[in-house]
Structures are given as C-alpha cells and as structure tokens.
A and B are shown apart, each in its own frame.
Chain A
C-alpha cells in the first residue's frame, strides 16, 4: 500500500473559488480510486490549498489492482468439437479468450454442455490508472470563470497550470494536464523563497518541505495563524479588539501563503464619517479588518493581512504604504459625503427622472410614485386593523427612499445604497423614523438577515418589493429557471421574511391586489394567478429551506392555504411538533385515512358518482358510520375554535383523536355501497370530514414514518 500525493500548481486562483475546488479535487480523486478498486478500507485523505496550488494526499492506495478471474462460456460443446476434433467455432472462441484450444474445458449446465474457458485479467498498476484517469477528473473541476491560455485552446481552466507533483510514495507518476507533466518539484513563496524548485521526495514530506519554503499548505492552519496574529497585533493597542468578520478571514486566508498582520493607523478626523462608510472602505475595498476601542466604538486603526514576513523596517514601509492608500480612499469618501449633502434628498427626487428603473416601467421617479401609492394603501389598511403607523413619516421615507441613487457616494460604494440615504436623511434632520426606514429598505438582504425594526421600515420594504414584483409580472418579466435578472425571487423572499418576522396582519393576496394599478386590471387575471403561484412557490421554499420544515409538512400546510404567511408558519410549526410527539402513530393513521378518502372521492368523481358537502344523519345505518358522524360533529367545532385562536397544535391533537373511529369506519363500512342512497351519503360523510379540516392542513400530504 502506498500514499499518493497530487499537487497542481497554478497562477493565483481567485480566492472565492479555492475552497470549493480544494474539496472537489479530493472528492474526485478518491471516488476515481474507489471506482478502480485501488483503495483499501483505511484511508487518510488530506486536502491542501493556497492561492498557487491545490493538493491532496491519500493513504491506503494499492500499487496494483487485484487480478480478476472470469469464467467465459462459449458455443455448445457439440458444435465446438466434432469427433473430438476442435471446429472453427472452438478456435474462434479460444482466440477470443486468448487461450489455446487445448485449454478449453467442458462445462455442464441445465441447458446442456458448453465450452468454457477460465481467463485471468491482470490488475493494472495504480500509476497506469492515475495517468489515464486523473487528467479527465482535473478537467471536470468546476470553476465559476474559466480561461484559455494555450494556442489552439486545448483546455479551459481557472488559470494557467504551472507545474504538477504526483508521487506514489517516492515514485513520480507522470500525469499530464494543461501542457505539463507531473514530477516531484514544487515551488515555494514567490518572494520569500523565490524561483528555486522544492523537491518532494515522499508524500509525507509535503507539508514540511513547503513550510520550509514559506508556504502554509493547510488552509485551517493558515486561518488559525491569521486569527492569532490579528489578536496579537490588536493587543498592542490598549483595550482594542478587531471586529470579527468571518467572510473576510476566509478571503485573506485564501489570498496568502505565508500570512502576517500589520496594524495601521488613520487620522482621527476621519471618524467624523459614518462607521458604515469607513468599514465598507476598509473591508470591501482594502480587505482590512476594522478595530474597536475598549468602549466598542470604531478606533482609528486597521489591520492588514500580508502575504509576507518582514523585519521592523519592512513593516514600517508596508504600514506606511497601506495607510497612504486608506487615507486617499477616506479622502474620496469624505469629499463625496460633503459634496452630496449640498443637494438635499428632496431635490434629488427630481433627478430620479433621469435614472431608469426598467425600460418599460420608466424611471426611479415613476417607481417612487408607485411605491408611495402602495405604501399609503398599506398604512390605511393597517390603521383600520389597529396597527399604529406614522403615515407622514412612512410617506416621506418612501418619497426619498431612492434619492441616494443619484449620490456620488452611492455610485462609489453601491453596496451602501439605502444606508447612505438613511444617513443623509438623519443628517438633514428628517427625523429618526424617516431615516431608519430609508436606511433599512433593502434589508433583509439574505434569509438570516434582520428585518427593519420599525413598522414604517417594514412597510417601505414591502411596498418597494411588492410593487416591483407585480409590475414585472404584468410585463411578463417573471423569473424562469435559473434566469432572474431583476432578482424577483430575492424580493419575494424579502416580502415573506418581513411578513413572517413582523407578524403584520397582511395577506399576500391583499398586498398583490393593492399593488395592482387600475391600468393593469385588464391584465390582472393572468398575472395575478402567476404572482400568486410565484409566492406559493417562494413560501414553500421559505418553509423548507429557511425554516427547515420537512417537505411534506410544507406541502400539507400550503395545500390548506398560504396567503397568510405567519399563519402558515404557525401551522407548519404545530404540525411538526404534533408529529414529533405522535408516539402512538395517530397522526400517521389519520394521514393514511385522508389519503384513502381522497382516493375514494377522486374515483367517485371519475365515475360521476354524486355526493354532497355533508352527510344526512338519518341515512346513516351502520353503527361505525353513525359513530364517525357523531364524533366528527363534536370534534369539528372544537377544532374550529382552536383554529380561530391559532392553537394549532391542540387542533391537530383533537383531529388525531378521531383515529379509532375512522379506523373502525373503514374496517366495517363499505363506502361504495350497492345502494345509491347509502353510497351517496357515505361519500358525503367522508367529503365532510376531509373538507372541514382542509383549511388547516391537507393531511393526505403527510408522509408517514
């Protein structure tokens, strides 16, 4: 058994793509070796990655596949041998099997006697197989963006391949890919080690040899070094702490082979700029970590993660260079911050006439008017439902919400749209309610993101997204497959999340109806059902992917209606709880009974059998059907009371108590009775049972087990 090392050396791989590719390379290598029967039970698989390399070591690799012995069956014996002499058929079979005719033997089967040959297929060496199969696996690695580099364009890959190392223990496996042949030479850190090749003599040396050449090959080790260095360097400032930023730690981990950290300082005067702007400049534009002082406020420092190791003099040079760049960027930001505020947001609204929202929907000025109309309708509706809304603040915020699209600072830092508008509104003294609603308008930005803290902010967010969705659908611009150019799915997710988390008493259909302008009414019929279906699909996604309800619970709950988001979630929650505590299997049994009911009713409809929405008591003859009818008429009103007060878990519990009665009904009573009157009444009875509970969940969707 041997250990195999494979490393592919590349020009700098984009940081965002390294983690996925590192995993994929290891997985592909392993499954290829498994498929070729080259792995034994105990396998130690290790992955490595830096900006310039992806590597994997795997132990327990067989040097050679086992030989495989096969029994081949040929023609019938009497065809192959006439009078004990081999015929042409025997010769042909022997040739095919690679044996002499004399080696053929007689094989007796129930069908008769046949010629048989024992053939041994020699196992191939691991090296042969790696040379043959590994290049194709490399070529299949997924990259978000590929390139060609060689003339004639033989392959696409993320960046040009510079070298490869492939060692089976100490033996080189000359795998060929991207115009290179693997050997045993790798390369160290560009600057600290230079161009001299580093020879790897055995897979077990790999990590140590690279470490000596200033490369930390293991991503998790590099990440830890960075975290420790950030801690250590931050401690040089009394009471300071670096702002935790896991995605940024990942990025700098994948940008370095030999990380170190330097602390820089900027002039305190820049702290007059909002934190949001300063942190965005540091994080998004310079990949610096922000630093908090002892009181948790932003301190005039930053941390840069370097891909080198220098002495104190070198550190001073690098610190100075980074400070210089940051100062220039802060200066730009300050210029825009001051410049923008010479034009108040209210004046900027006019400028939105020149900013296109969508070519058929007009400018952001028009979009703003649409949003105002919807926000106003929402405020009125909520006021009627006893929810306090500061309508003037909401309408001011809605009118000014898009104004920051004309601000230079937003053109420079597009990721801060909304936030900048909110900050300008606050600076203009428009009031905290207005400022906050504008500031939060694009949140939640992701499934786990917070929603706007105020009702006004929530309504602005709902109005903006809902108007966009309805208007885009009216133009036939709904998302299809992987195409969603206007990010309508994200907008719908935002609507659902705001409704779910705020508990605002608004139904999706109401939002949609209010967002539909009178002019669109002609089109409304088609687009309305399309919007409803779209939200149904998004709510299903939300229940399953975000709330992590099981597939069948989501389906059962939505079959009973998904117009009220918070209510659908509460029902899903209750159903999940009841199922988890359903030790006796009542719910599963009820679900089975409901499936049966649906099947019977469907068949009845197909046959044209008539039935009604409720049974007639005096046509019920069997004791079991009477029992079901009676118990149902006790349970149903109770369930409805519980449902009305949103006590869904109890409601489901009550429904589950019907189980014995339902069971004995189906045991003893034949629904499709020969007598037409009885048949019709029994169908009506089960239709009533299924129908009365259909507004809470469709139990027939529940998958038992």
Chain B
C-alpha cells in the first residue's frame, strides 16, 4: 500500500533544503571526494573547529563499500544519501526546530510515535565524538542527533548540533515501500510517470558491489593508501616547519591535506570490503588515519587562530 501522495525522493531533498535555508543555513553541495558519512565532509569536519558560528546544510552521498549487496537487499546500500545539518552554536530550541523539519517532510507528529533514545556517536579515526540521540519514529531510526564535543582530537567551543537524516530510509517510510529501490525518486511533471530509485541507482549498486567485493586490486589499494598517506604527511610536515615563521602558515594547503586523508579513509573501507584487513591490522590502520585527521585538524585550528590574530591586528 504505497503512499502515492508522499513526497518523492527529490522533493524530500528540496523541502529539507528549503526548510534549513529559511533558518539561516548555507546550502552546500555534496563534497566531491568519497566519504563514508556526511560528518567527514570538510563542511562539517573542519567548520566545527574554532570559534566562528556557522550554519550549513547539504546532502552527502556516503559510500560504505562493505554495506553493498549487489542491489539484492531491499534495505542496504553501498552508497546512501545523508542530509546533514550543522548548527554551530546550537540554537536554544534546536530540538523543536528539528521537529518542525519533520513537518516539512509531511510528517504529522500527532499521528506518529516519536522518541529521542540515547545514542552517542564516535568516529575514532577522526578523533571525534559527541553525545545525542537516535530519533525514532514508529520504531524507525530517522535521524542521528548529535552534540559534537570533540573533533580531530580538538575540544570544541562552541560545540555544535549535527542532524543527520537518512534520506532513503525516510523516503521509503513516507512512501510506504518495502524496498529502497521502489522509492519514487521523481515524477514526470506531464505524464506523472514515476521514476524509481532503482531506475536511477540499481545498476550503480550492482557495479560497485562487484568492484568493491571482487575486482578492487588489493595490492594497488595498499599502494594508493601509502601514497596518499605520504603526501598528506608531507603537507602536514610543512605546518611543523612553519612553527618558526608563523605568518607563513596561512599558505599551507591544509584543505588539500584533508582531501588526501579522506582518500586514505575510503581506501581503507575498500580494503575492508575486500576482506584484506585483519583485525590486528585494523587497529593499526585506524591509528594511521587518525594521525592524519588529527594533524589536519590541529593545522586547521592553528590557521584559524592566525587568521583571527591577523584580523585583530
């Protein structure tokens, strides 16, 4: 009993964007480097550092190679879409604001059961954690709501609120379809013909599952990992050399270093999907990625401090 009057997948995205733009968020585009979650986009990971207030919202395709199921599982995807909102610092009535966003998606809370259940978030490789809730609607987790406390090993002040909506899950719920692939992505404005999620994305799921699980060349992945790691470290070394000449620091390309770090993270996920990372190695690799993310966050925070000092002078 699919609900034909529910928002299409793209309308859901439009409405969330419109809603949050009207509440002061900068609308960003998805970051164009592979990430496992919206949190890893520099729009979150780096922007939450330092004192400057910032509201941003964006959709982020999030790739998790090990979650791919060749398009055969109705609930699991290699690449799903997170809608990410960062509110730094969080407004006083941030929970109520969030509940209004549900209304913008066509959810009338008087007809549903809503609970905020404790769920603390942690990204060890990013030196990041926060406390918060999974927001449950009729037993379905529709949003992860987190008060960031630390990021890249840096204590945050002010802290920020992060809202992460799982768009496929919410769309399937609203449209009342049992498979993600049956979600109506768009409707032809003239004929009203439904274009489904499956038509748009199924082939991509199949192909990438095949690549991730069967063809990704393990030796080359390790080599890529090593090369990206080296280059990232080389950039971070510039920051350290720079300690003596503080004024030059602004020119260190910290953002590029972060991209290299994201590459390493994605390669690790690919290696993991290939079953190439033993549990012993896992801890070590996560530690290596953490060194990069923490190094980038430290360098970025230092850059901000220099800029602030420059503006003051």
Contact = CB atoms under 8 A, between A and B. Distances in A.
Interface of A: 11-12, 14-16, 51, 145-153, 159-160, 190-192, 195, 255-256, 286, 288, 304, 306-308, 310, 313-314, 317-318, 320-322, 324-328, 331-332, 335, 354-356, 359, 363
Interface string B115-132: 111101000000000110
Interface of B: 73-76, 89-90, 95-96, 99, 109-118, 120, 130-131, 133, 137-140, 147, 149, 157-159, 173, 176, 178, 278-280
Nearest to A179: B92
A308 B138 contact: no
Contacts of A324: 140, 173, 176, 178
A384 to B, nearest CB: 39
A270 to B, nearest CB: 14
A255 B115 contact: yes
Contacts of A314: 110-112
Given A15-B117, A314-B110, A321 B157 contact: no
Contact of B90 (A149, A286, A321): A149
B23 to A, nearest CB: 17
A146 B131 CA distance: 8
Nearest to A405: B279
Q: Which 4 A-B pairs have the closest CB atoms?
A: A321-B138, A14-B118, A12-B116, A322-B139
A195 B73 contact: no
Q: Which of B89, B138, B178, B279 has the most CB of A within 10 A?
A: B138
Given A12-B133, A149-B159, A331 B74 contact: yes
B279 A190 contact: no
A359 B279 CA distance: 10
Contact of B279 (A12, A149, A307, A355): A355
A645 to B, nearest CB: 52
Contacts of B130: 147
A328 B114 contact: no
A317 B118 contact: no
A359 B96 contact: no
11 contacts: A15-B117, A147-B131, A147-B149, A149-B90, A310-B110, A317-B111, A318-B112, A318-B138, A321-B137, A322-B139, A363-B280
A526 B149 CA distance: 44
Contact of B111 (A190, A192, A310): A310
A151 B158 contact: yes
A321 B177 CA distance: 11
Contacts of A325: 138-140
Contact of A335 (B73, B99, B178, B280): B73
A328 B75 contact: yes
A152 B159 CA distance: 9
A287 B84 CA distance: 27
A327 B178 contact: yes
B66 to A, nearest CB: 10
A253 to B, nearest CB: 13
B72 to A, nearest CB: 9
A572 B279 CA distance: 46
Given A192-B110, A310-B113, A318-B138, 18 more contacts: A12-B118, A16-B118, A145-B131, A147-B131, A148-B157, A151-B89, A152-B157, A190-B99, A191-B110, A255-B115, A306-B113, A308-B112, A313-B111, A320-B176, A322-B138, A328-B75, A331-B75, A332-B76
B139 to A, nearest CB: 4
Contacts of A147: 130-131, 147, 149, 159
B279 to A, nearest CB: 4
A153 B149 CA distance: 11
Contacts of B159: 147-149
B108 to A, nearest CB: 9
A335 B140 CA distance: 20
Contacts of A306: 113
Nearest to A313: B111
A352 to B, nearest CB: 10
A321 B280 contact: no
A190 B139 contact: no
A310 B113 CA distance: 9
A304 B120 CA distance: 23
A363 B279 CA distance: 9
B158 to A, nearest CB: 4
A149 B74 CA distance: 39
Nearest to A195: B96
Nearest to B88: A151
Contacts of B280: 356, 359, 363
B269 to A, nearest CB: 16
Contacts of A146: 131
Given A286-B139, A328-B74, A51 B116 contact: yes
A326 B74 CA distance: 14
A30 to B, nearest CB: 28
Nearest to A264: B139
A335 B115 CA distance: 29
Contacts of B133: 12
B173 A321 contact: yes
Nearest to B96: A195
Nearest to B72: A335
A317 to B, nearest CB: 5
Contacts of B96: 195
Given A147-B147, A331-B74, A318 B116 contact: no
A16 B120 CA distance: 13
A153 B112 contact: no
Given A151-B158, A307-B114, A356 B278 contact: yes
Contacts of B137: 321
Contacts of B95: 11
A405 to B, nearest CB: 10
Give the interface centre of A195, A308, A310 by most chain B CB atoms within 10 Å: A308
A11 B278 CA distance: 41
Contacts of A150: 158
A317 B279 CA distance: 44
A333 B160 CA distance: 36
